[in-house]
Every structure is written in structure tokens, then in C-alpha cells.
Amino acid sequence: MNMEKFNRTPFKESLKPTNYDSRMVKIRELKSQKDILIREHELEEGEDLNELIKSHSEGKKLFEKMSSEYGIKMVSMNSIIGKNEEGKTAFFTIVDKIEGENLSKVENLPTKAEEELNALYCSLGQHYYDAWKQKSKYWADGNNSQFIYGHKYGEKDDHFFLVDIDARFFRQGENELFPIEWLVRNICEGLVKAENKFQPKISLKEARDKLLGIISEMQEDKPDDEWLLKARNLLET
């Protein structure tokens, strides 16, 4: 992956703080460019820069696959390496700024969002099913909090965008903290919660049926898996 490197701060102006900081990453913005946000990851002691670049490069390709093969909208991402304003080496990722509300926090969704949301849960389910079937890498952060319902700066049409582009992808058995069955359960929980955000409440029937079919097939391999049992219970209650 070709990535520009600087021995100084790579921006012509100071980065401004925002209210979007996460536990691991600082989210910054530029006064002159209101259409982007900048994720600043300061290298910790002992952290290998080359491994971070490799992980990001692979993650970017996998996110692009989620977009091209499953139709999941997401922010663009371009990265550079340089010094932050404290003089420490940092990994900066420039992403689109999405103006809207986090899917996990928004209280009400408009009727026009139903079809796209139904398709989103179908796509996420298909992603996990394919990864399970093919034993390929899957996204380890699948839940409502990773999506914003809104629009890119300067645009008007609202959509669901994947905005948290931390590159965490695993194969089955690689990380016991993020089993694929748990992530399927997360998607089912997110679907049920999202249905309640419409007034009156709706049923995302196509996505429900698809996820139940996926769960049934996975249970043939693991009939007593607690996460699959919980996922089924969420959809059948």
C-alpha cells in the first residue's frame, strides 16, 4: 500500500477537536474543510508502524469488498503518517463527514428509510453467512453503533453509512472475543431495536426471514451455541 509519510505534521493548519472522540482514536477536523473528519491514532510504545500499515491496508480492501459485493455504504478512507501536534508519530485516516444521527441513538426513523434498512440487515447477514461458509474473514464490529443515518456534507439524500472503519477482521477461531455467532446475534438485536424506531413500529420481514435461515443453517453445525439460540429467540419473540 502506498502511503504518504511526513516527518512533520502533515496538515497546513491545526487540527480542531470534535465531539466524536472514541476510546481508541481522536477525531479531528480542519477549519478549511468541513466535508472531512480526521482520525488520529497515536502510536503507543511498542506498537509496530509497519504492522499497523499492513492491518489498515488489508482492512481497507475488506471494507471495499463489503461495499462492492454487499452494497453497504461507507465513508471513504485515505491515510497518511506524520507527527501530531505533540510531536509524536501518528497514523491519520481521512474520512467523509456524515451529517446525521447514529443508528443506535436516533429515536425516530422516517418511513422512507425502511427499504434501505431492510436491505442493510440482509447484506450484513449475507456477509457473515458467506464468511462462515467460506471460512473467510469477517468484520468484528457489526452493530448499530457503527452506522449513521444521514448524508455527506453538502448533499441532501440520507442513507445508512458505515462510519467506524477500524480494521478488525477475523476468521473463525482466530479471536475468541469476537466469534461469528456472537456477531450474528448482534445483528439480530440491532434489527429488533431498529424496528422500534419507526412510528408505528414495523417488521423488517425480509431481513428477519433471511437471518432466521442463516441461523438455522449455522445451528446444524452448532445446535447448542448460546449466541445462535439468543439470536433466534430475538427474532421469534
Residues 34-72 have pLDDT tens digits of 999 999 988 888 888 888 888 888 989 999 999 999 999
pLDDT of residue 24: 64
Confidence of residue 2 (pLDDT cuts 50, 70, 90): low
Between 223 and 173, whose confidence is greater?
Answer: 223
pLDDT of residue 46: 85
Choice among 11-15, 17-21, 87-91, 154-158 with the minimum mean pLDDT = 17-21
Between 87 and 130, whose confidence is greater?
Answer: 130
- Position 21 pLDDT exceeds 80: no
pLDDT of residue 22: 67
Taking each helix axis from N to C end, the angle separating 205-221 and 226-236, rounded to the nearest 10 degrees, works out to: 150
Q: Are 181 and 225 in contact (CB under 8 A)?
A: yes
Burial readout 77-105 (b: 16 or more C-beta within 10 A, e: otherwise): bebbbbebeeeebbbbbbbbbbebbbbee
Task: Please list, in sequence order, all residues whose beta carbon lies within 8 angstroms of the beta carbon of residue 140, skipping any fewer than 6 positions away.
Answer: 168, 169, 170, 175, 178, 183
Task: Give the C-alpha separation, 114 to 198, whole Å.
Answer: 8
Between 3 and 41, whose confidence is greater?
Answer: 41
Q: Region 131-158: what's the mean pLDDT?
A: 95
Choice among 50-59, 127-136, 171-180, 183-192 with the minimum mean pLDDT = 50-59
Task: Give the C-alpha separation, 114 to 160, whole Å.
Answer: 11
pLDDT of residue 1: 47
pLDDT of residue 165: 78
Chain centroid to CA 106: 17
- Position 23 pLDDT exceeds 70: no
Confidence of residue 117 (pLDDT cuts 50, 70, 90): very high
Q: Which domains does the chain have, with CATH numbers?
A: 4-97 (3.30.200), 99-236 (1.10.510)
Task: Please list, in sequence order, all residues whose beta carbon lies within 8 angstroms of the beta carbon of residue 192, skipping any fewer than 6 positions away.
Answer: 234, 235
Kindly report the average pLDDT of the chain as a whole number: 92
Q: Are 28 and 38 in contact (CB under 8 A)?
A: yes
- Position 159 pLDDT exceeds 60: yes
- Position 207 pLDDT exceeds 90: yes
Cα radius of gyration rounded to whole Å, the chain: 19
